[in-house]
Each structure stands twice: as C-alpha cells, then as structure tokens.
Amino acid sequence: MVIFKRFDTGEPLSILDLTVEIRNPIINAQFRWFSEECSKLNKLIAIPSYGKRSIVATSPDPSVLLQLRNSTIQEVLFTTHCPTIPRVKSVLIFLFSDKFRSNLLATWKVHIHAVQKLMIEGIQAQTTKIPLPMKQPEESDALVQFHSTSEALNIFPHQPFIANPKSLSEVQGYFTPNFTGKRLALITAINVNSRILLNSWIIHANVGIPNIVKTYEISLPLGNAEDTKKDIVEFLDYSCKCWNPKHCQNLRNQFTTWKCRRYQKEDNNRKPIFNSTKLPCSYIKFIRRHRGKGISLIETA
C-alpha cells in the first residue's frame, strides 16, 4: 500500500493499493538438449513469426547469454554452461517486442541434460564392449536400473540390482550394430526406489561395413514351404612350412589335380560349382601355368 501526502501539511491525497501476483507464464515452445557435463553450450534458434519482430530477448538466469541476430529470419544465439551429472538445467527465455519489456511475444523453456560422452568405432554385426563407470549413490540400498534408447545395445546386468562397489564395477554394455553410419544412443541409470536420475551417457557410434571375404548367392523359389539345402564349398589349403622349392615341387602331382572339395548330403552326381587354380601357401604360392606346363614359383613370404 502506498499513501501520497501533502508536503507541507501531511494531509493524505491518495492511496494506492498494489497487489502483485506471480504466476507461471504460458510456454510457447520447449527445447531439450543433451551436452557433455561442464562444457560450453552454444545453440542458434530461429524465431518463428509472432506477428511482430522481437526487440529484446532475456532470461532470468544470469548464467545464460542471449544475442539477437536480425537477418531475413530472426535468430537467437543461446550460450550457457552445462551442469554436472546428474543435474538437469531448466531455463526460461522471454521475447519482447519493445525495449521497455512490456509487450511479451513468446516464452520458451529450455532443458539441458548433462551426460558423459562416449565415442565408439565399430563394425556392423560385431560386438563392442563398453565400460560404464558410475559413482556409488548416496543411498546405501539404492536399486539401480539401466535403460537404453538403442536396440543394438544390451546392458549387463539386465535386471535391477543393489548398488555396491562390486556390482557397479561389473556393469558393461555390449554394442552390436545392425546398421552402418553414424548414430546416437542414450543410456540412463535410474534409482528405482526414489525415481531419481543417477547417471547418463550419450554414445556417438561410427559403424563401418565389415570386411567381406566370401559372398554366396542363393536363389529360393517363391512360396516354397520345404527346407532348402545348398552345397558349401571349402578350399583345401596346401600349406608349405619350408624354404626349399624342391620339396614343394614334390607335391606337383597333387597340385595339378587339385580341385575344390565340396560337401554334398544328397546328390553326389552334380557337377562342382567351380575349380580353382590359386593355391594359398604359408610361405610359397604356386600357380598352374596354362597348357599344363607345370608349376612355377611366383611369390615368397
């Protein structure tokens, strides 16, 4: 309450009764970002059309720096520091259309999650073991459960377990990607009893294609309900572990008649798929010359 009085007599002139009610603003947009803990976060956000151009962008958090960029499309440069794990930092951003900050255009809310960053270089269909270090929770009997956003990531143990130094040291992630390229995956550790976030990791996976050494092409009839059996070809490896070419030439009769061996379960009268003339050897490689002129030395290990 404010009372206005005369200066000379002190007689009241007017009384102003002002009531201030603080309420939560209406949120026009929300943003959620994941960043490495204790790192500097910079984001450029485009401002949609609210009927008027924004003149002032401000935040009640003193650790947030906002800068308006006026071009064809207005943008806000958001700069702050990410907290430590497992904190989540929430920030409000107010956009005003006048310099006196009386005409509010929009209110944004930003959530910043602190995570530990893990870089993985993997190969498709091959398993990579990932250590997941974690501190001991404050509660001695905390029941911990791990969750993952990727189907290619399995975490051991699967079921909730009592947190103790031994069990936390045995936590492992097994990453078996069924894709190639770059992907992101999020892992969280939750206290099941109190439903509090204990730790979180973000995985930056770069998966390459496997080294294919042999390819098989199999044609199957459409709508066939019976089991289909195919032949598997296996090459005989005549390895030589000596440096004497004469000793290797003693196997000439065997090499000249060398063919691929195959496994056949039913039909033994079928023709072989193909013959090979390249003979792998540990130290000496031979080839059969054209027109049956024998074997010559082409490479030494």
Q: What tokens were used for 209?
A: 């294609």
Q: What is the pLDDT of residue 275?
A: 38
Query: Residue 85 carries which side chain, given as an amino acid letter?
Result: I
Number of domains composing the chain: 3
215 within a domain of the structure (yes/no): no
19 within a domain of the structure (yes/no): yes
Confidence of residue 285 (pLDDT cuts 50, 70, 90): very low
Tell me how far apart the alpha carbons of residues 299 and 286 are, in angstroms, rounded to a whole number.
8
Tell me how far apart the alpha carbons of residues 95 and 106 are, in angstroms, rounded to a whole number.
5
Strands 104-123 and 29-36: parallel
272 within a domain of the structure (yes/no): yes
Q: What is the pLDDT of residue 232?
A: 65
**pTM score above 0.75:** no
What is the CATH number for 13? 2.60.40
pLDDT of 114 higher than 90: yes
Confidence of residue 298 (pLDDT cuts 50, 70, 90): very low
9 within a domain of the structure (yes/no): yes
pLDDT per residue as tens digits for the range 96-106: 999 899 899 99
Burial class (CB in 10 A: 0-12, 13-18, 19+), 190: buried
Residue 184 bridge partners (DSSP):
204
Q: What is the pLDDT of residue 252?
A: 46
Q: What is the pLDDT of residue 163?
A: 87
Last residue of a domain, one of 79, 114, 149: 114
Q: Taking all residues of the chain, what is their mean pLDDT, rounded to a whole number?
A: 79
pLDDT of 169 higher than 70: yes
Considering the domain architecture, whether residues 176 and 200 belong to the same structural domain is answered as yes
Q: What is the pLDDT of residue 234?
A: 59
Considering the domain architecture, whether residues 29 and 67 belong to the same structural domain is answered as yes
Q: What is the pLDDT of residue 250?
A: 52
More confident residue, 253 or 9: 9
Considering the domain architecture, whether residues 75 and 20 belong to the same structural domain is answered as yes
pLDDT per residue as tens digits for the range 149-158: 999 999 988 8
CB 107 within 8 A of CB 93: yes
More confident residue, 270 or 28: 28
pLDDT of 94 higher than 90: yes
Q: What tokens were used for 273?
A: 């798929």
249 within a domain of the structure (yes/no): yes
Considering the domain architecture, whether residues 151 and 244 belong to the same structural domain is answered as no
Considering the domain architecture, whether residues 9 and 101 belong to the same structural domain is answered as yes
213 within a domain of the structure (yes/no): no
Domain that holds residue 165: 124-208
Tell me how far apart the alpha carbons of residues 239 and 291 are, in angstroms, rounded to a whole number.
25
218 within a domain of the structure (yes/no): no
Considering the domain architecture, whether residues 190 and 96 belong to the same structural domain is answered as no
pLDDT per residue as tens digits for the range 53-75: 999 999 999 999 999 998 888 99
Considering the domain architecture, whether residues 20 and 71 belong to the same structural domain is answered as yes
Considering the domain architecture, whether residues 151 and 204 belong to the same structural domain is answered as yes
Q: What is the pLDDT of residue 25?
A: 87
pLDDT per residue as tens digits for the range 41-56: 999 999 998 988 999 9
Considering the domain architecture, whether residues 161 and 256 belong to the same structural domain is answered as no
Confidence of residue 276 (pLDDT cuts 50, 70, 90): very low
Considering the domain architecture, whether residues 188 and 236 belong to the same structural domain is answered as no
Considering the domain architecture, whether residues 204 and 242 belong to the same structural domain is answered as no
Considering the domain architecture, whether residues 97 and 129 belong to the same structural domain is answered as no
User: Across residues 209-228, what is the average pLDDT?
Assistant: 80
Of 185-189, 196-200, 213-217, where does mean pLDDT reach its minimum?
Answer: 213-217
226 within a domain of the structure (yes/no): no
CB 288 within 8 A of CB 277: yes
